[in-house]
Amino acid sequence: MPAASPATDVFLTPAALLTHWQGHRKLTRRVIEAFPDEQFRTFSIGGMRPFLAMASEMVNMAAPMVQGVLTNEWKRYVETEIASKADVLRHWDDTTTIMNDLWPRIPAARFQEAIKAFGQYEGRACDLVMYVIDNEVHHRAQGYVYLRALGIEPPPFYER
Amino acid sequence: MPAASPATDVFLTPAALLTHWQGHRKLTRRVIEAFPDEQFRTFSIGGMRPFLAMASEMVNMAAPMVQGVLTNEWKRYVETEIASKADVLRHWDDTTTIMNDLWPRIPAARFQEAIKAFGQYEGRACDLVMYVIDNEVHHRAQGYVYLRALGIEPPPFYER
């Protein structure tokens, strides 16, 4: 990449990133809600996972990533199985609170440090956080296709 | 949002953002390539657009957004219709070069300014750039579902 900007130049501040992320999470919550309970657990295209599995993965990545960046302790969010749309939504809202509580405590310099998340994913903390958000946007978009295939209008992508 | 970090705190630098974006664009290029020519133009699920239309939209957003943030002039990238996979791939590679050329010329402070993109989308420049990336990740993921439904293995999401 040819771009070289000083390490002090800001594209996004940590506060802006949290706002961005929570905006995405608000939209993803609406996509989860748009599914009928049954299809949330079972509907699939092309052998892909049902949206329950994708949404459970998001729950297991978001708060644990924030917690891990803050404390360097890596653990799954939910040890028990997530089995329903109601389960996911409950954990979703708890996650929102946890993120808003923990994120501001992370020193800004930490985001530029090399870390190993969950004992295996190596990279700068900022890049690993971006990966979690990208993963959510990616799977949420697959939820959009599932909803369309089910004849259900998903919430507009641009509403956060 | 409760987070309040100084405006000088860095989560991502402009250089890191370009690397992140080009990593996504490299993966999206592989998803485009994975489609058979015919299905790229025609395949659809649930009344959604074929991947040609989604990929053309990406071409019409990426370089024009970078150009617009730099110059405050807003114009479409391609005035003529994009009709094929080969067309998209050609414009894709031109876009990569344009982005690498223009991005480093944008003063860092510009990303925090309020702008009106394409005469209608208002927001901070950084948020509008993020929207273009999110839009690409969103539609690329829908391309993943199309490929799966066609029985084609898409490239791994984590490879950039």
| DSSP calls for B87-136 | HHHHHHHHHHHHHHHHGGGS-GGGGGSEEEETTTEEEEHHHHHHHHHHHH
Q: Which of B4, B8, B48 sits opposite A104 (nearest CB)?
A: B4
Torsion (CA) A72, B2, A90, A125 in degrees, nearest 10? -30
Q: Which of A10, A100, A138 sits opposite B157 (nearest CB)?
A: A138
Mean pLDDT, chain A, rounded, equals 95
Tell the CATH topology of B14-149. Four Helix Bundle (Hemerythrin (Met), subunit A) (1.20.120)
Question: Contact A155/A27 with Cβ under 8 angstroms?
Answer: yes
Reported as a pLDDT band with limits 50, 70 and 90, residue A7 is: confident
Question: Contact A135/B157 with Cβ under 8 angstroms?
Answer: yes
Residues 6+ apart with CB under 8 A from B146: A145, B35, B39, B43, B44, B45, B51
Q: Which two tokens stand for residue B96?
A: 């990569």
Residue A87's CB is within 10 A of a number of other CB atoms, namely 17
Touching check for B7 and chain A: CB below 8 Å? yes
d(CA A103, CA A116): 18
Asked if the model's pLDDT at residue A3 lies above 60, the reply is no
Contacts of A130 in chain B (CB under 8 A): 12, 20
Question: Contact A90/A33 with Cβ under 8 angstroms?
Answer: no
Touching check for A3 and chain B: CB below 8 Å? yes
Does the global pTM surpass 0.80?
Answer: yes
Is the reported ipTM for this assembly greater than 0.85? yes
Touching check for A100 and chain B: CB below 8 Å? yes
Q: Which of A11, A103, A134 sits opposite B111 (nearest CB)?
A: A11
d(CA A32, CA A59): 12
Query: Do B45 and A130 count as a contact with CB atoms less than 8 A apart?
Result: no
Q: What is the pLDDT of residue A4?
A: 58
The ranges assigned to domains in chain B are 14-149
d(CA A125, CA B28): 24
> Running DSSP on this structure, what letter comes out for residue A112?
G
Contacts of A54 in chain B (CB under 8 A): none
Touching check for A102 and chain B: CB below 8 Å? no
The pLDDT tens digits for B12-61 are: 999 999 999 999 999 999 999 999 999 999 999 999 999 999 999 999 99
User: How many Cα neighbours within 13 Å face the side chain of A111?
Assistant: 27
Nearest chain B residue to A102 by CA distance is: B3
Instruction: Report, as an integer, the average pLDDT of B2-7.
Output: 64
Q: What is the pLDDT of residue B4?
A: 58
Give B63→chain A minimum CA distance, Å.
15
Touching check for A160 and chain B: CB below 8 Å? no
The pLDDT tens digits for B123-145 are: 999 999 999 999 999 999 999 99
Q: Which residue stretches of chain A are H helix?
A: 14-34, 37-42, 51-71, 85-102, 125-149
Contacts of B103 in chain A (CB under 8 A): 3
Integer angstrom CA distances of residue A112 from A100, A107, A159:
20, 10, 30
Contacts of A48 in chain B (CB under 8 A): 145, 148
Touching check for A126 and chain B: CB below 8 Å? yes
Kindly calculate the radius of gyration of chain B based on its CA atoms and give it in whole angstroms: 17
The pLDDT tens digits for A57-87 are: 999 999 999 999 999 999 888 877 899 999 9
